[in-house]
Amino acid sequence: MKVAILSESAADESGIRGFVEALLGTKTESPPEGRVRARGKDAIFSRLMDVVRHLHYHTDAAALCVVVDSDLTPIHHESHRDAGQGEHNCRLCHLKSLIAQVEPYLRPREHMAPLKIALGLAVPQIEAWYLVGRDNWVGEAGWALHLRGEKIPYRREELKGKVYGTDRPSLDHETECASKEAERIVRDGHLPLLEKLFPVGFGAFASDVRAWRTQG
């Protein structure tokens, strides 16, 4: 299955792909036209609709995964639906809105199903996902307390150091660590724990990916 991945760092493709393959139970590959990448969340939001159009019309990609960090923005909640287009500052709502704007205008692909899309929100950043099974303090519930002004046992700035051993890793080192941590989580059977600790941002992403197995 050919799956394109759009994330804030090129290094995260290997980690995200490891999770996707575990959820699907099969290996995946990038579309032959090359990997879809962006540098930073602003690039993801500005390019997402063009990326969807490109993959849909000009590649044989079956699916696209998009993951962004939440940082200090709100954690997505079902109540955001009451806001019409979603909570203004929620990045997952923003992604959903962009997809909703582009999908109705995509013409059917000849001999191919519509592009499947999975959206994820890493709370507060993807390094927290990589720490599952190593650090019992990570999780969306704890970060929600922090957003309400309560003290928690870690700071967002410390997450990179815990995963990479430095807060300024090289791209190669970051890629290697992301891949190894994803492999460890899958190998040690911590994928259900990842969903439990991050039920919104990773749980919704995992649900999207699993649904691909029953879609055409």
Can you tell me whether residue 37 is helix, strand or coil?
coil
Give the predicted TM-score (pTM) of the model.
0.90
Q: In the block, which residue shows the tokens 């290697």?
A: 176
- Return the ∠ at Cα 132 (arms to 159 and 140), rounded to 5°: 75
| Amino acid 178: pLDDT | 96
pLDDT at site 24: 96
Sign of the torsion angle spanned by Cα atoms 42, 21, 78, 145: negative
CA distance 116 to 111: 15
Is-contact 99 48, C-beta < 8 A?
yes
How far is 7 from 13, CA to CA, in rounded Å? 7
154 Cβ contact list (under 8 Å, min separation 6) = 135, 137, 138
pLDDT score, position 136: 77
CA distances from 171 to 11, 15, 69, 153, 161 (A): 6, 13, 18, 28, 14
**How much is the pLDDT for 150?**
85
Please list the pLDDT of the chain residue by residue as tens digits (216 residues).
999 999 998 889 899 999 999 999 999 998 876 556 666 888 899 989 999 999 999 999 999 999 999 998 988 666 546 444 545 689 999 999 999 999 999 999 888 889 999 999 999 999 999 999 998 788 999 888 888 888 887 788 889 999 999 888 999 999 999 999 999 999 999 999 999 999 999 999 999 999 998 875
- Give me the amino acid identity at 177: C
Residue 118 has what pLDDT?
Answer: 97
pLDDT at 125: 94
| φ and ψ at residue 63, rounded to 5 degrees | -155, 160
